[in-house]
């Protein structure tokens, strides 16, 4: 059986050469800057001069060619970059169409409506600071006493650098580190060094709004908090006229311009109007539901907890949104009270935008068994795997053994939104009714 992902990768790899999808630039006063690669001239070759002359293999030659490795990295991270944008959309369209056909074949009843995907294009230019940060951080690593930490070799505490930028000009850097056997004294010294480097040292060119550090822990251990080293605790983004607060641990779409297209698509597919009441099960900062608040009668956020919930509350208050409420907890207990407070004739819609792990079985059962919910908008960043299992449970005939008692949903429409140009990833917005 042909592996579709492998085929798409090969097709992109051997297509005609195009300009790389990112912009490389050279920060003033800094050497070569490119996607976090080591600065030019920092790689040390081990061996005698005679041995080096004997290395004539293509690998040795290519190691001297940064352009070769740039293309290799692009092929791994953004396998569609060699195709023009219209061709990229066709590839994603066919892939999602195949997923929907697979889904249809597994459902007992698909209903009268056929999926009619259309594609929305949205690209966001890289921030001018993105090329600066890797070079600055690597310059710090070169002067640091400690080395890098990887999954296979625990050589040092430094593990990962995450950079988040917004259209409002804010930049948040998050450094993930593995403390290993370091003492608290040694950790404090490292934190002070990196704080000084980015505040008053060479890294000040990055002009960071926030600089955080976070300890990397095994999955079975409790998550550690983000530690603010310098700057503001939050960054902010403007999306569809809303000012949204973003914490270091909160999920927010990488591509703001495309996120605006995504949120509009959710409202259009769900036919949201002033008669609509939305039960929002989305994760993240609640931006999807909040962006629809001015078009709806009421929004009940059911899934936000922790810092993400605090971000959503701030966003609602700052933007004067009064018809948004948060009700985390057991939906079975909360839903009857919420339904009683609604006027007759309201249209109830569930909105789900799960993480890559999909929806929990409890949420699927709660939505399925709430007979008042007649419309469901399902946003999936991975319309396969766990999402397919979720959709099958939402659409299969009633099954008391699985606690699926309500009438099944029927898939009516599906629309892909390209959030990540040059990659194989694509969001799929699906409309279900019953």
Q: What pairing do the DSSP bridges indicate for beta strands 410-417 and 242-246? A: unpaired
DSSP per-residue codes, 31-56: ----TTPPPTT-PPPPS-HHHHHH--
Q: How far apart are CA 371 and CA 367, in angstroms?
A: 8
Domain that holds residue 318: 85-124+255-433
Question: Looking at the structure, do residues 382 and 264 belong to the same domain, yes or no?
Answer: yes
- Going by the annotation, the residues of the binding site for S-adenosyl-L-methionine are 253, 353
Greatest CA span in the chain, whole angstroms? 86
> What pLDDT shows up at residue 215?
86
* Residue 36 maps to a domain: no
Catalytic status, residue 381: yes
Question: Looking at the structure, do residues 313 and 265 belong to the same domain, yes or no?
Answer: yes
Q: Which runs of consecutive H residues, i.e. helices, occur in 107-222? A: 132-143, 184-199
* Residue 259 maps to a domain: yes
Q: Which token pair is 268?
A: 């259009």
Question: Looking at the structure, do residues 145 and 292 belong to the same domain, yes or no?
Answer: no
> What pLDDT shows up at residue 76?
81
Domain total of the chain: 2
Exposed/middle/buried for residue 75 (C-beta within 10 Å: 0-12, 13-18, 19+): middle
* Residue 54 maps to a domain: no
Question: Looking at the structure, do residues 277 and 358 belong to the same domain, yes or no?
Answer: yes
Question: Looking at the structure, do residues 395 and 317 belong to the same domain, yes or no?
Answer: yes
Q: Which token pair is 64?
A: 């001297």
> What pLDDT shows up at residue 8?
32
- Going by the annotation, the residues of the binding site are 253, 353
| Size of the chain in residues | 434
Report which of 354, 269, 270 is spatially closest to residue 304, judged by C-alpha positions.
354
Catalytic residue among 39, 188, 381, 395: 381
Question: Looking at the structure, do residues 216 and 350 belong to the same domain, yes or no?
Answer: no
Question: Looking at the structure, do residues 418 and 289 belong to the same domain, yes or no?
Answer: yes
Task: Answer with the one of 236, 265, 300 that is the final residue of a domain.
Answer: 236
* Residue 184 maps to a domain: yes
Q: How far apart are CA 331 and CA 352, in angstroms?
A: 14
Question: Looking at the structure, do residues 284 and 364 belong to the same domain, yes or no?
Answer: yes
Q: What pairing do the DSSP bridges indicate for beta strands 210-215 and 171-177? A: parallel
* Residue 29 maps to a domain: no
pTM equals 0.73
Question: Looking at the structure, do residues 171 and 187 belong to the same domain, yes or no?
Answer: yes
* Residue 396 maps to a domain: yes
Q: Which token pair is 242?
A: 């809303």
Question: Looking at the structure, do residues 343 and 319 belong to the same domain, yes or no?
Answer: yes
Question: Looking at the structure, do residues 146 and 228 belong to the same domain, yes or no?
Answer: yes
Tens-level pLDDT at each residue, the chain (434 residues):
434 333 333 333 333 344 444 444 444 443 333 333 333 333 333 344 444 444 445 455 545 577 777 788 888 888 888 888 888 888 888 888 777 777 666 553 333 333 333 334 434 444 566 667 888 888 888 887 765 555 544 556 788 889 998 888 899 999 988 887 778 888 888 889 999 999 999 989 888 999 999 988 766 566 788 999 999 999 999 999 999 999 999 889 888 888 898 999 999 999 999 999 999 988 788 899 999 999 999 999 987 888 999 999 999 999 999 999 988 766 667 777 777 767 666 889 999 988 878 888 888 998 998 888 999 999 988 877 788 889 989 998 998 888 888 899 998 888 888 888 888 888 889 999 98
Q: Which CATH number do you get for residue 368?
A: 3.40.50.150
* Residue 425 maps to a domain: yes
> What pLDDT shows up at residue 290?
95
């Amino acid at each position: 059986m042909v592996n579709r992902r492998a085929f798409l990768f090969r097709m992109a790899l051997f297509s005609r050469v195009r300009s790389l999808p990112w912009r490389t630039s050279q920060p003033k006063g800094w050497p070569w800057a490119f996607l976090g690669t080591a600065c030019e001239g920092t790689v040390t070759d081990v061996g005698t001069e005679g041995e080096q002359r004997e290395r004539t293999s293509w690998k040795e030659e290519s190691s001297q060619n940064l352009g070769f490795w740039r293309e290799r990295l692009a092929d791994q991270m953004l396998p569609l970059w060699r195709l023009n944008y219209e061709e990229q959309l066709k590839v994603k369209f066919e892939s999602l169409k195949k997923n929907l056909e697979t889904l249809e074949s597994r459902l007992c009843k698909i209903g009268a409506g056929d999926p009619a995907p259309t594609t929305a294009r949205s690209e966001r230019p890289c921030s001018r600071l993105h090329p600066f940060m890797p070079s600055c951080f690597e310059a710090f690593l070169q002067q640091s006493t400690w080395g890098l930490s990887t999954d296979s070799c625990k050589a040092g505490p430094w593990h990962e650098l995450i950079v988040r930028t917004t259209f409002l000009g804010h930049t948040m850097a998050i450094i993930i580190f593995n403390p290993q056997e370091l003492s608290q004294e040694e950790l404090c010294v490292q934190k002070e060094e990196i704080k000084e480097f980015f505040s008053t040292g060479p890294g000040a060119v990055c002009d960071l709004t926030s600089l955080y550090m976070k300890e990397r822990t095994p999955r079975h251990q409790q998550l550690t908090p983000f530690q603010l080293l310098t700057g503001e605790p939050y960054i902010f983004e403007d999306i569809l006229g809303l000012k949204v607060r973003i914490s270091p641990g909160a999920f927010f779409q990488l591509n703001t311009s495309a996120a605006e297209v995504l949120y509009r698509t959710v409202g259009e597919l769900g036919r949201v109007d002033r008669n609509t009441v939305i039960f929002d099960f989305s994760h993240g900062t609640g931006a999807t539901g909040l962006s629809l608040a001015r078009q709806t009668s009421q929004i009940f956020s059911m899934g936000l907890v922790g810092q993400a919930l605090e971000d959503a509350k701030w966003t609602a208050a700052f933007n004067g949104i009064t018809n948004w409420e948060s009700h985390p907890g057991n939906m079975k207990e909360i839903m009857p009270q919420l339904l009683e407070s609604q006027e007759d004739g309201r249209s109830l819609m569930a909105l789900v935008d799960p993480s890559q792990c999909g929806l929990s079985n409890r949420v699927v059962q709660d939505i399925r068994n709430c007979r008042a919910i007649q419309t469901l908008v399902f946003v999936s960043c991975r319309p396969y795997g766990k999402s397919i299992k979720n959709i099958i449970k939402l659409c299969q005939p009633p099954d008391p053994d699985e606690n699926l008692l309500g009438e099944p949903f029927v898939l009516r429409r599906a629309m892909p939104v390209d959030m990540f140009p040059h990659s194989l990833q694509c969001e799929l917005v699906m409309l279900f009714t019953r």
